[in-house]
Each structure stands twice: as C-alpha cells, then as structure tokens.
Amino acid sequence: MRLVLRFVTWNCNGALRKKFSMLQSMQADVFIIQECEDPSHVQCSSYHDWARNYLWVGPNKNRGLGIFARSGVTLEASPLDLGALELFLPCRVNDSINLVGVWSRQANSPTFKYIGQVWKFLQKNSCFLESGNSILIGDFNSNSCWDVWDRWWNHSDVVRHLSLIGLESAYHVLRNEVQGGEQEPTFFMYRKPNKPYHIDYAFISNSLLDGASCEVGRPDDWLAASDHMPVLVEIPERNEIPPV
C-alpha cells in the first residue's frame, strides 16, 4: 500500500481555538493555518491538546501563522534569513520535506506588499526550496488577474521563478487549469458568494507531483467559519510515518 502525507492550508479568519474541530475530518498530517492565535498565549485546554506539535510565528499573539502536525510527524524549524518579511514559517517535516508556510501580508511596505513579500523571500531563500522535496504553501493573497504590467515581481513572475527551481502549483497541474483561470475559488471577499477569488496555493516539487492529489473545500461547509476555503494536498510519502 502506498503511504501518503496530507497537507492542509487554511486561513481560519481568527479564533482557531473555536474552529479546529472542523479540521479533524480532513485527517491531515500537517495543517498550515493563517490568522490563528499562538497556543502558548491561549487559555483553552482543548486547543492545547490539539496543538501539541506545532510551530508558530507572528507579531500579534492573536493572529499569526501556525504549522500544526499530528502525533508521529516531526517538525523542525529551519533558521532562514527572513528579516522583516511577513509571514513565512520554514521547517523540515519528517526529516524529508522542506516546507514553508505562507501568509503574505502588506508588512507596512508601500511597494513590496503581499506577493512582493513572496518575491523577496524567494530572492533570499530559493535554495531552501531547491532540495527536490519541497512545499511552499499558504495564503498568498494574490492571483495573476492582479498583475501590474510594469512591475517585475507580479504573481506571474513568482510562479515562473518557482517553476524554474522545480516547484509547480499542485492545483493547476492536477486540474489542468491556468493561473488566473481557476474554476474553484479559495476565497470569498466579505464571505459573499458573488466575490470569489483563488489566492491560496500549494507549490510542490515536481518530484512530489506523481501520485499527488488536490482538493478545495466547499463554501457550503466552510464559509460560515471563514472567508477562505481549505486546500488539501496529498502526496506520496517515501518513508513510513509512525501511527498515531
């Protein structure tokens, strides 16, 4: 039987301590969660029990970026040069996959906000993702439909850069859809069904695409909890993971 690893990214729109139970049915090995509170600053025993194996970063203890793994999956923080970039959380999963969680933000930058933060991250840290087993995943707050014609770090430029170092968007490759032409939105502005966008991505190494799958959560199931839908990516795992 082929073993797999399941990764889920979800911008929970705050108060994860009240919503994490919704994620349990997805049976993921690793959750990358944006806008979640730091478990170490929350007085909620059930949240603590769920978040026993995690990494977290953020300038505000109530809204940051967390990576949460199930029991038996190892997370090891990776000390990359992030400077003032917001927000990236690099780590090593099961000593076999380089993973970077993403929540791209304005970061008080009038020029390099949102996708500009991802572009700047790649200028410094592309080598971390060139290992052959890598994942860049999260809320990018970006889509090629917002490309600016005279800017050299548009969404499309970032996608091309990632392709050059061997990473492709799992959703687009597996669905055979083009950037900017997505059929399934991951975000509904103001939670309105008539304002859909695709801004959450999982870029994975070409070596991980064989046998991979990708799913986007349904608005009927998730819109009451957040303006973002979860994105689930399942990839083959070459080394056995201990059972829960």
Q: Quote the pLDDT of residue 44.
A: 86
What one-character DSSP code corresponds to residue 228?
B
Q: Quote the pLDDT of residue 244.
A: 35
Instruction: From the options 3.30.360.10, 3.60.10.10, 3.30.70.100, 3.60.21.10, give the CATH code of 4-236.
Output: 3.60.10.10
Burial of 136 (0-12, 13-18, 19+ CB in 10 A): buried
- Kindly state the percentage of the chain with pLDDT values over 70: 95
pLDDT per residue over 169-209, tens digit each? 999 999 999 999 999 999 999 999 999 999 999 999 999 99
Q: Six-digit token pair at 218? A: 């349904």
In sequence order, the 6+-apart residues with CB closer than 8 A to the CB of 68 are 30, 31, 33, 50, 51, 53, 54
Domain boundaries, the chain: 4-236
pLDDT per residue over 84-100, tens digit each? 999 999 999 999 999 99
- Residue 243: pLDDT above 70? no
